[in-house]
Copies of this chain bind each other. A is one copy, B any other.
Amino acid sequence: MTTHLSYVHGYSEHETRRLGEQADTLAALLHSGTSYLAGSRVLEVGCGVGAQTVHLVESSPEAEFVAVDVSATSLAEARARLLAHAPTARVSWIRADLFRLPFPEASFDHIFVCFVLEHLTAPQQALKALRRLLRPGGTLTVIEGDHGSVFFHPDSAYARAAIDCQVRLQSAAGGNALLGRALHPLLTSAGYAQVTVRPRTVYADTSRPELVGGFTRSTFIDMIAAVRDQALEAGLMTAEDFDRGITDLHRTTDEKGTFHYTFFKGEAVKTKEA
């Protein structure tokens, strides 16, 4: 049995572009505070198409990265993305399952995991497995979203229901789109020390057009719109109601709209005892 379930967002070209845009718009918000010393060995788990990897290497040009993903297609795209954006970056690419990583104990100084735990049935086990790979004193950085953090103006029950489709589909696939709020207890119960979790909030209104376009529209609404077929097939909403939900979400990007989403960034240490 593989522990990596079907990826709710899919692997289309459009999805690749969406993840790229998301990462660029959010880079400053999510990556601030994360930089690794020269010569550090850093493992990025679930690098996908390299959307975060480009920012990791930018913030830590002298660190040595190992980027792992289960999808060969994603790894190929990630490699191409890095070649285009940061040709001199020191990244090794390895295809492997998160639960069968081919590294000896204590072989990394730092581990970075972004938007991965939300797709796993056993995030706590995954965190424990990663802890083994950290040297004592090494750090883990985790970034996750929480779709329950979404609220907007004008409010709309249809829009909320459409978002809920995504939450339920992700849950049916074994994941948890509400993981962000549980990050602190997850890290603590997985045996990490000095656990610090902070919200990293996206708030977009007409005074921040780059967030309205880059996050609300191209990242969030597109992500919800992309589950339309699955949602209808699963009988979660009628086509009419779902489409109205998407239309209403787009109203939050208008002149008088606002949109709020919270990511959570956690940092934790592997102690000697742990």
A199 CB–B CB distance under 8 Å: yes
Main secondary structure of the interface of A (DSSP, over half): mixed
A153's contact among B182, B189, B195, B205, by CB below 8 Å, is which? Answer: B182
A184's contact among B151, B199, B205, by CB below 8 Å, is which? Answer: B205
A199's contact among B183, B185, B201, B257, by CB below 8 Å, is which? Answer: B201
CB–CB A149/B148 < 8 A:
no
A258's contact among B153, B181, B189, B260, by CB below 8 Å, is which? Answer: B181
CB–CB A178/B205 < 8 A:
no
- Give the number of times this chain occurs in the complex, counting copies: 2
Binary CB contact string for chain A from 172 to 207 against chain B (1 if under 8 A, 0 otherwise): 000000100111110011000001111101010111
CB–CB B155/A151 < 8 A:
no
Seen from chain A, the residues whose Cβ lies within 8 Å of a Cβ on chain B are 146, 148-149, 151-153, 155, 178, 181-185, 188-189, 195-199, 201, 203, 205-207, 255-258, 260, 262
14 more contacts with CB within 8 A, not counting A151-B178, A189-B256, A198-B203, are A146-B151, A148-B151, A149-B149, A151-B181, A152-B181, A153-B181, A183-B258, A184-B205, A185-B205, A188-B256, A197-B203, A197-B205, A201-B201, A262-B262
